[in-house]
Amino acid sequence: MPPRICSVARTLEVVGERWSLLVLREVFLGVRRFDPIREATGAPRAVLAERLRDLVAAGVLDRREYREPGTRVRHEYHLTPAGRELQPVLTALMQWGDRHLAGPGQPPLELRHADCGGRVRTALVCEEGHTLPDTGTGLRPVPRAGDRDRATRDSAPAGGS
């Protein structure tokens, strides 16, 4: 029986490697060049080079030439539109860490809404406008046609068809 291929698995193929999400965190923060990213993340050079290549190949980062006056052409990494849509992933990770792995003192980074200054967080919302608790209580996963019926059942009766 083949492993379940869902969108979580597919997304982790792109951003699930050891340093990928930390690299993206830096790019979201505006750190776009090799050495500063390396310092901020702690990733080894070779691994970082490979991750950047992978993320560019996956369409998450865009490698752009730039030239500061008095230097040769270099490259920096910008988020593509698809890359920017990973913001909720990073926000969700950060939020959980803030809540459950807080070090001494307050969290080191806050996200605020540029328009109103309010703190921003991820929330589970439904299309009718309801907001669910972060625990996912009241959330019902529905396997779609075509998927094996393995999901959502664990203590099914033995005599099932």
- Can you give the binding site for DNA, defined by CB under 7 A? 17-19, 33-36, 42-47, 49-50, 52, 70-72, 74-76
The token pair at 52 is 């950047």
Please identify, using beta-carbon distances, which residue of 72 and 144 lies nearer to DNA: 72
Please identify, using beta-carbon distances, which residue of 4 and 75 lies nearer to DNA: 75
Residue with tokens 């691994």, as numbered in its chain: 47
CA distance linking residue 74 with residue 17, whole number of Å: 26
Residue 52 burial (C-beta neighbours within 10 Å; 0-12, 13-18, 19+): buried
Q: Under the criterion CB under 8 A, does residue 57 sit at the interface with a second copy?
A: no
> What residues from 94 to 123 belong to the interface with a second copy (CB under 8 A)?
94-103, 105-116, 118-123
Q: Under the criterion CB under 8 A, does residue 85 sit at the interface with a second copy?
A: yes
> What residues from 142 to 161 belong to the interface with a second copy (CB under 8 A)?
142-144, 146-147, 150-154
70 binds, among DNA, a second copy, none (CB under 5 to 8 A by kind): DNA
The token pair at 153 is 């059942």
* Shortest Cβ 138–a second copy spacing (Å): 5
35 binds, among a second copy, DNA, none (CB under 5 to 8 A by kind): DNA
CA distance linking residue 66 with residue 51, whole number of Å: 20
The token pair at 147 is 């998927």
**What's the gap between Cα 137 and its chain centre?**
22
**Beta-ladder partners of 62:** 78
Q: Under the criterion CB under 8 A, does residue 71 sit at the interface with a second copy?
A: no
